[in-house]
Every structure is written in structure tokens, then in C-alpha cells.
Amino acid sequence: MKSQKHKVDFSDTFAPMVKFTSIKLLLAIIVIKDLEVYQIDFKNAFLSGDLEEVIFMEQHNGQVLKRQEKFICKLHKSLYGLKQSLKAWY
């Protein structure tokens, strides 16, 4: 992916963030109440977001099929590196 232009390829890139003080407060409550904490790592989180925009991309080297070298890909799900991936995942 070469580049994306603001207001042309995407409108905004909002993604909610938590304040560090909120995490500290939550962990303090967990310790006081003697609760357990579980962690989940979403390895493919950005790959599950549906896109609102229509996005096309060139085929990556090594992924090009014979006699389809000039084809392009229409994305239905977000990818790592897209400016709108965080918002699509949220």
C-alpha cells in the first residue's frame, strides 16, 4: 500500500483509548476485592473489521497469480496499515 490521503481515501481514524489512571483504578479494585484478571490477545483484531469505504489495492509480490498480474483486490475487511483499521475494528 503506497499512501492514503485524508478526506480522499478515509474520513477519520478515531479509535477509543483508555486513560492509564482508569486502568490503575480498575486494578486497585480487583486487588481490594480479591478478584482474578484474565487477558485476551487479539492477534487478528484488525482483520475482522468491516470497511465502510470502497478500497482497492495492488496485489503483493509473491501473491500474484499467473495471467492475473494486472488484477487489483477489492477489500471487504480491514488490513494492518490502513488508516481506518482502528475505527473499523472498534
Residue-wise pLDDT tens digits, 38-73: 887 666 666 677 777 788 877 777 777 788 878 888
Higher-confidence residue: 6 or 22? 22
Higher-confidence residue: 33 or 90? 33
Sign of the C-alpha dihedral computed for residues 67, 47, 81 and 40 taken in this order = negative
pLDDT at 25: 94
What's the pLDDT band for 1 if we cut at 50, 70, 90? very low
